[in-house]
Each structure stands twice: as C-alpha cells, then as structure tokens.
Amino acid sequence: MRTGIARHLSCLAFSIPDCNIGSRDHDPLTMKRRVVITGLGVVTSMGTDLKKVWENLVEGRSGIRKVSSFETSDLKCQIGGEVLDFDPAPYFGNPRDAKRADRYIRFSVAASKMAVTQAGLDFESDDPDRAGVFLGTGIGGLQTIEENQRILYDRGPGKVSAFGIPMMIGNAAGGIVAMDLGITGPNFCVTSACASGSHAIGEAWKTIKFGDADTMIAGGSESTVTRLAIAGFSKMRALSTRNDDPESASRPFDRDRDGFVMGEGAGVVVLEEMEHAKKRGADILCELIGYGTSADAFHPTMPHPEGRGASKCMDRALKHSGLNPDQIDYINAHGTSTPQGDIAETMAIKKSFGDHAKDGLVVSSTKSMTGHLLGAAGGVEVAACAMALRNGVIPPTVNLENPDPECDLDYVPKEAREVPIQTALSNSFGFGGTNASLIMSRYSG
C-alpha cells in the first residue's frame, strides 16, 4: 500500500485522475468570481476626457486631420488622428517627470488616472498588493527612438539622452502608473500589435478570475503619428492617401476605402471583482464576461482571407461568456478601413454568428472617427462598448456611403442609433495574425 507521499509523487509523475493538482476545480474560467468595469479613461484625437470623446462618437465627428506636428510634404500619407491640446502635467506629481516620459507614457498615465478617479479608488486604503497594472502597447516609445537615433548620428553617442531607454521600453507606462499609485500586485506589458490593449484587458480579467487580484488597471497606449511610422506603413500601402479630405479618409466597409488612418492616444479601464466593487459602493458600468484569443497562422500582416482566426477568437469569447451567438446585440468591429481586413472580419462574423449576423446583430467601427490607435485601439473600443451599454446608443460607422457588396451587415452607417443593448463584443486583430475578442454585458447585479 502506497504512503501518502508516494501517492502524491505518483500523481505528479503520471497525472492520475484522482490527483487534485490541475483539476477543473482550479481552472480560473470555472471560478465564480465575476469581473466588472468601474472606471474608464480615454485620450484620443476626438478629445482628452471620456465625456468629450463619447459626445463626439455619438455625434459622428471625426478626429482625423492633416498632421501638424511634423513635416509631411514628402510623405504619401499626410493625415492622422493626432491628439491636440493635451497637457500631461496635471497627471504627473512632478512636471519634470512628464517631460522625461515618452508621449505614449503620458497618454497611459493620463488615461489611467482618469479611470481610477471615475472608479473612486484609493490605494492608500485599498490593499495595493491586491491590485495590478497591465498596459499594452504595439510599439512603445517610438518618438523617443526616432529622436535619439537622430541625435546619435548627428551629434554622437555622448548626446543621447540618459532617460532614453526608460522612455522607449514598452513596459514603462505600466511601471510608472504602478509607482505613482503605489500598486504592488501583478504588472506586465502586452505587446501584440493592434490587439495589445484588448489582450491586456483580457489577461487582467483572467488574473481577477484566478484570484490573484481584486482590482486591475488595464488597456493600451500608442503614439505612432510619427514620420517613421507613417513612412513605414505607407510603404506597405496600408494607409489611406485621401489627404485632401481627411475626415472622410477612414471609411470601414465602404467600397471606396483605401487603407487605415493612423491614430494615437490611450484607452484604460478599471476592472474589479464584483463583490469588491459592491462592498465599496462603486458605480458599476458593465460586466466583462468573456475573452477569446487565437492566431491566424497565415501571414505577417494580412488576415486570413476567410476570417478563420477571427472567427475562432469570437467563438472562444462566446464559450467563456456562456452566451449563445444570438445573445450578442452589438459588435464594435476591428474595422480598420483596409480592403482585405474589412471583408475578412465580415466573413468571420458570418461564420461565428450564422443567421443572426444578418438578422438582429448590429456592427459598427469607431475607427471611422478615431483612426486606428494600434495597441491602444482595444482599450478605447472597450470604453466605447461600455458607454454604449450604459447609454443605449451605438456609435456610427461614418463615411459609409457606398457599401462594399462583400460587406453586407448592419454597420450603423453615418448616424448613431438608439438601441437598448444588453451585450457587446469588441474585436481587435493585429499584425502577425494575433486576435482578441472581449464580451461585455449590462450589469444586472
């Protein structure tokens, strides 16, 4: 007869079914902890606070303009969703710290502080070990990289900034937010191209579900309206060149779309375990109930032409949410305004939602107004979904004037629509074929 120790070792070695280690009881997705959203922070070309951004989204106002912060005359694409009139200093304890932070970090800190303020959190009274920060970025401190590269070649290595490396790295934003707020729980950066912000939110959701935290600050930030980024994406023929009409350049699902428009900014949410939020009397905006991921495994930049990876991603989010496809009311599409991407996403939605895709499901792309914020897109679009659930209004897909015959879903063209939706799904698909889908629902107590 085996001793207790021998039996335990045998379980470890041979995965005997009666061993508790690794059992379904410990699967985070089967745990009963529910996750809610209690704070939102956004910085975009449409405004630098939630109220203004939401107002502009509902009104269908584009934030895309002729780029004004650098010379564009020699660039094929001369337009973008620049954040204007943004002062980071109020969000930093010391104004000098703001100057020593890359622009993407400034956006992160501002959006995080906005979200924490709305949530009413105070980490001096709330346990900082039970809180964490997951902030994603597709590229990180690109402006700092470009500037220091010029300095290196023009003036020599002795003139490169001593703060350059901490300003460039992708995890700097999350680190600074944690230091500023005194948060000592889980902290890392997700870098998965245009899915970074959504992956960060999804992984934060899992962290709370697993029980490793009660509160998470999560989302994404990006500042890539730069000469290098626009030149590089233009060389790939990924960007719109509708330079004479910037506000109509981003036109997802439209027959005349010619590429996406670069945007910048940040989108951050505060996630909390539901009982933790209720105990402190938080205003719960909505509940995050599903998260799915997948890989296309197809091409470095193009989506699978049949949307296979995107469909699997949505299917997994649905499985984790416990909902049937016909229970999803609204999809905030990835919808970048690229010729291949919009068709592939449309096919993926049809594959995952069947008849419901054309009979009751509403889809729109807020990138038609914000531009594509790359790693920050998911955070901004989750915020848009939360506000749509809260207010019963779906933002439009502006500039959708001549629908592509292969894009034949209900995309809420031109004007917002009042619909008392109960559930919303947000899609983010990135270069490398990396995909993320998040599902939210109205909070029902």
- Decide if 305 is inside a domain: yes
pLDDT (mean) for 284-298: 97
Q: Is the pLDDT of residue 13 over 90?
A: no
Mean pLDDT of 329-348: 98
pLDDT digits (tens, 9 = 90+) for 227-259: 999 999 999 999 999 999 999 999 999 999 999
| pLDDT tens per residue across span 370-399 | 999 999 999 999 999 999 999 999 999 999
Angstrom CA distances, 57 to 112, 194, 397, stand at 21, 21, 10
For the segment 94-108, the average pLDDT, to the nearest whole number, is 95
- Per-residue pLDDT tens over the stretch 34-56: 999 999 999 999 999 999 999 99
Average pLDDT over residues 406-426: 97
Structural domains counted in the chain: 1
Exposed, middle or buried, 441 (CB in 10 Å: 0-12/13-18/19+)? buried
d(CA 346, CA 350): 6
pLDDT for the residue 125? 86
388 CB contacts (<8 Å, ≥6 apart)?
330, 332, 394, 395, 421, 424
The string of DSSP letters for 374-391 reads GGGHHHHHHHHHHHHHHH
Name the band, by pLDDT with cuts 50, 70 and 90, for residue 7: very low
Predicted local confidence at residue 31, as pLDDT: 64
Q: Which residues are catalytic?
A: 194, 334, 372
In a domain, 1, yes or no: no
Residue 46 maps to a domain: yes
The reported pLDDT for the residue numbered 27 is 52
CATH number for 408: 3.40.47.10
Angle between the 227-235 and 142-155 helix axes, to the nearest 10 degrees? 100
Give a yes or no: residue 371 inside a domain. Answer: yes
Whether 29 is in a domain gets the answer: no
pLDDT of residue 1: 38
Domain annotation covers residue 259: yes
Quick: pLDDT tens for 130-143. 999 999 999 999 99
State the Cα–Cα distance between residues 193 and 97, nearest whole angstrom: 27
- Token readout for 428 is 């983010």
Q: Is 301 left (phi over 0), alpha (psi -120 to 50) or beta?
A: alpha
Residue 420 in any domain: the answer is yes
Range of the domain at 421: 36-441
430 φψ region: left (φ > 0), alpha (ψ -120 to 50), beta (else): beta
Residue 183 in domain:
yes
Between residues 203 and 31, the one the model is more confident about: 203
pLDDT of 445 reads 75
Examine the pLDDT at 342 and tell me if it is beyond 80. Answer: yes
Q: Of 68-72, 94-98, 171-175, 262-266, give the lowest mean pLDDT range.
A: 94-98
The per-residue pLDDT for 95 is 85
> Is the model's pTM score more than 0.85?
yes
Please report the pLDDT score of residue 26 as a whole number: 45
Is a pLDDT exceeding 80 seen at residue 80? yes
Whether 442 shows a pLDDT value over 70: the answer reads yes
Q: Which residue has the tokens 């919303």?
A: 424
Q: Is the pLDDT of residue 4 over 90?
A: no
| SS3 label, residue 28 | helix
